[in-house]
Amino acid sequence: MQDTQSIIFFTILVISIIAFVKEWFPIEVTSLMVLAALLLTGLIDKHQAINGFSNKAVITIGAMFILSHAFTKTGFIRVFTVWLENNGRGRNWAVTTLFLIAVSIFSAFINNTATVAILIPVATDLSHRLKMSASKIMIPLSFAAIVGGTCTVIGTSTNLIVNDIAYEAGFRIGVFELSKLGIILVAATLGYILIAQKWILPSRVPVSGLTKKYHMGTYLTEVKIPAASPLNGKKFMDLNLGEKYELTVLEIIRDDDHITTNIRNIILHEDDILIVQCSVEKLQLFKSEQKVLLLTDVKMNDSELADNENILMEAMISPNSSLAESSLMETDFRRRYGLFVLAIRRYREIMNLKVAHIKLKHFDTLLIFGSRTRMAALNTDPNFIVLEELDTTLHKIKYWWLAVAIIPVVVGIAALDIMSIMEAALLGAIVVMATGIVPAQEAYKSINWTVIFLIAALIPLGDAMETIDLADQIGGLITAASGSFGDIGLIGILFFVTMLMTSFLSHTATAIIMTPLAIKSAGILGLDPMPFIMTIMFAASLSFMTPNGYQTNTMVFSPGGYRYMDFMKAGIPLHIILGILGVVLIPVIWPL
């Protein structure tokens, strides 16, 4: 019976890992399917199936999302980070180091996805000011946020999950217990980044502008309507130019007026200048049939597209965006926002033809053209992370001082053992909601429900592992490994296996699978479980060598213009450096 259950469990596990890596379904759907499979095969019962949704770590993570949102609403992170940059005295290495130190500090206390989302525009501005490619700063931003999260128990959802599993097994980990090693790893990472910026990281994003970055020059140009053109005196909506020539008119310039809204109802006049987006082939047909004049054969650039009223800007689809899985046409983007999407960037792929029909995905980067006023509204829209506009003022929202102080208070209460982390975080979330800092509906939107469902659905994996006595089954392997490599060698195996798993599998799933095994390993060998727990806690959070291994890596992929191999080249050396430091120092800081 047990052998049959073990076969079923490993079949489910292998299929789920493949589904996660191949992204057959959204990550939360895959995790719920794993939960259903465990329940239907009898590996868990109905009570175990729902335990994850009431788990302390899940509640803590949800509360921390709300607290992080309250903190980020104030704009304090950008203001503080830009202040640090300005104190770098113009030296690139000093400015970069201060910026990344700030990233690490904030990531230790608030959700690192939120930290990166807020600081991507700061990093973009920094690259412009230092006259270097954004490719030199985006990967460092992500790496600093990841390592910064290893400094406290609340730094990442992974830490909270491992902490909860350890607590259930009878082990307590203080809020700052991880700082003993985390600070060393941050220092090593910053030193490595300074070297990587010069020798490893590429310069893929041109400093010259967005039109070149999106290869838009071929598709953007100006045309003038002469007296002989059939367009003269016609209402734009009656001409059907979009369908006939696959052409988009972004702006009509008439004398000193720049018209970008309600273009459909504009009657075209002689000498009107149209800024159009169109393929080369269709543009030639448009020119021939409509007798328009091409004003220039030179490709247009950012400065030609931007004027006092209209600008080009990048915006990323946020992790919680409701626009994901819908096309621009389905969401009626042009009417809803009064803006034009010129191109969509997804990883290395640039899509600038028929963009209205492309299904958007989380972390897609949009090249948007439109009025400054309408563009500014995107800064407060939860569907977007605006990459170009940089607001460096402190937003004195209602009780803004409380929003800034709430996380340090929560951390202090938990560190002094006045309350548990869950109790302190939950009460903090209630305070910011009750005071109106984060209204209830806004609080709901601030929670990354993908993470919540992922963790809640996968926690029963631990119960299934107990059902088949998986930890006992691997006892022989553990004893053999210890005999061959020694206790420290076993720490090394666990560290690097966990790091490898988290690069391709969800780091949360990795932590849920590996933590019980690590605790059982220590028990079998008669060793203190704490160094084994710390091994998993650190290793499961360190994911540098793939863009999909950690959410912050995915977020910086498009703004940095990276290729998949860029993460391999930059990430593998850092994995090795931090892995060696971890394996050497963990048994010293937490003796076996």
**Cβ neighbour number for residue 235 with a 10 Å cutoff:** 11
Q: What is the reported pLDDT for 338?
A: 81
Please write the tens of the pLDDT for every residue from 230-282: 888 888 788 888 778 777 787 888 887 778 777 888 888 888 888 887 766 67
Per CATH, is 210-299 categorized as 1.10.357.10? no
373 touches 236 (CB < 8 A): no
Residue 476 reports pLDDT greater than 70: no
310-386 placed in CATH 3.30.420.60: no
Give the phi and the psi of residue 224 in degrees, each rounded to 5. Answer: -115, 140
DSSP single-letter state for residue 238: G
Residue spans in the chain of domains classed CATH 3.30.70.1450: 210-299, 310-386
Q: What is the DSSP string of 85-110?
A: HHTTTT-HHHHHHHHHHHHHHHHTTS
Q: Who contacts 492 (Cβ-Cβ below 8 Å, separation ≥6)?
A: 485, 579, 583
Q: 206-218, pLDDT tens digit by residue?
A: 655 565 666 555 5
Q: Could you tell me which residue, 190 or 471, shows the higher pLDDT?
A: 190
Q: How confident is the model at residue 587, as a pLDDT?
A: 92
Q: What pLDDT was estimated at residue 299? A: 46
353 burial level (CB within 10 Å; 0-12, 13-18, 19+): middle
Average pLDDT over residues 310-338: 81
Cα-only R_g, the chain:
27
pLDDT at 298: 40
Among 371, 356, 368, 361, residue whose Cα is nearest residue 314:
368
Say if residue 311's pLDDT is above 90: no
Q: CA-to-CA distance for 489 and 478, rounded, in angstroms?
A: 11
Query: Best-predicted range by mean pLDDT among 57-66, 124-133, 304-313?
Result: 57-66
Give the relative orientation of helices 179-199 and 530-539 as an angle to the nearest 10 degrees.
30
Q: How far apart are CA 411 and CA 89, in angstroms?
A: 33
pLDDT band with cut points at 50, 70 and 90 for residue 519: confident
* pLDDT beyond 70 at 480: no
The structure's pTM equals 0.76
Position 297 scores a pLDDT of: 43
CA dihedral sign of residues 504, 509, 511, 515: negative
Mean pLDDT within 21-44: 83
- Distance of alpha carbon 87 from alpha carbon 15, whole angstroms: 51
pLDDT computed for residue 301 by the predictor: 56
Half-sphere exposure in the Cβ direction for 528 (13 Å, CA): 14
Q: Are 506 and 20 in contact (CB under 8 A)?
A: yes
The C-alpha torsion from 83 through 84 and 89 to 93, rounded to 10°, is: -140
